[in-house]
Amino acid sequence: MAAVGQDGPYQRGIAGDSYNTAIYLARAGHAVSYLTRLGTDAQSDAIVQAMASEGLDTQHVAQIAGRQPGLYLIDNDADGERHFSYWRNDAPVRQLFDDPMALENLSAFFFTGITLAVTRSGADNLLALLAQLKAQGTRVVFDPNYRAHLWDSPAQAQALTARVLPLVDTALPTLEDETALWGIKDVDACAGHFIEHGVAEVVVKGPALTSYVYAGPVLRAQRQAEPVKALDTTGAGDAFNAGYLAQRLRGASAAEALESAQQLAARVVQHRGAILPKDEV
């Protein structure tokens, strides 16, 4: 659950990095199933209802008696940059991969570094799931989305991420995050880091609103977005991911996908909250 303040009462919203991406993929016409764990309280019921209203398949959403979802508050500064406060240490999603699971008939499986951080007690089961999906021909897509406060140490994040990357087909890193975690200083080095770990396609969100797509060591596309006045940057990267994947999953070129990604992200940051009204997508 998310609440956004704007010099007045806070408003309840439903958001989260992978959730935001899932919503925009569904709105783009893709069949999307969401995998998570919730409680049995009124807030959890509202989340399930919101998923269903957006066309997300909820068969993989389990509700655990006596539990409640995580909560966070978002405030924005004058430039639209967001600042978070979290209450989610006991969120049931933390046990998402504590038991083995199998998934079938997926064209793509998307997860993030936040997923990795909060479910790390089940890391071995997640890795087994990714290996199974990759063997089935499912495209495994990963946004590293490094958030230091979710990990015990950078070394812990590095170790688990390094185990995951050989099972990833497409990575969507942000250079700023990779600098914080690995000390990587430039776009080429960032792409090279993921390629060295076996990732076939790397989409780097770089500085100056410029993004890059690498297929192996080859730069396939590069595009600078038009600057816009940001009201709230919450969900910008998630929207970028959705815009890119929505096109690539349809067979569009990397250049076409980058344009779609940047356009959707630009629209999102001009609104409060991570999810645009339905009639605007």
The pTM score is: 0.92
* pLDDT average, residue stretch 28-40: 97
* pLDDT average, residue stretch 172-190: 98
Up-side HSE of residue 4: CA atoms within 13 Å toward CB? 20
pLDDT in tens, 231-267: 888 899 999 999 999 999 999 999 999 999 999 999 9
Which residues, including other chains, have CB under 8 Å from residue 95's CB and lie 6 or more apart? Answer: 37, 64, 119, 121, 122
Give the pLDDT band of residue 13 (cuts 50, 70, 90): confident
The pLDDT value recorded for residue 12 is 78
Report whether pLDDT(22) > 80: yes
User: Which phi and psi (to 5°) does residue 203 adopt?
Assistant: -115, 110
- What 3-state DSSP class applies to 57? strand
Report whether pLDDT(106) > 80: yes
The topology (CATH level 3) of 17-42+55-67+92-280 is: UDP-N-acetylmuramoyl-L-alanine:D-glutamate ligase (3.40.1190)
136, two tokens: 């089935």
Q: For this structure, is 238 an active site residue?
A: yes
CA dihedral 223, 228, 232, 237 (to 10 degrees): -10
The pLDDT value recorded for residue 3 is 52
Give the pLDDT band of residue 5 (cuts 50, 70, 90): low
Q: What's the CA gap between 219 and 214, in Å, rounded?
A: 4
245, two tokens: 């994947």
Q: Are strands 210-215 and 71-76 parallel, antiparallel or unpaired?
A: unpaired
The pLDDT value recorded for residue 196 is 98
pLDDT: which is higher, 169 or 81: 169
Q: Which of 75, 177, 238, 279 is catalytic?
A: 238
State how far the alpha carbon of 124 is from the alpha carbons of 112, 164, 217, 221, 230, in Å.
16, 10, 30, 35, 40
Task: Among 124-133, 207-216, 269-278, name the one with the lowest average pLDDT.
Answer: 269-278
Report whether pLDDT(2) > 80: no
Report whether pLDDT(105) > 80: yes
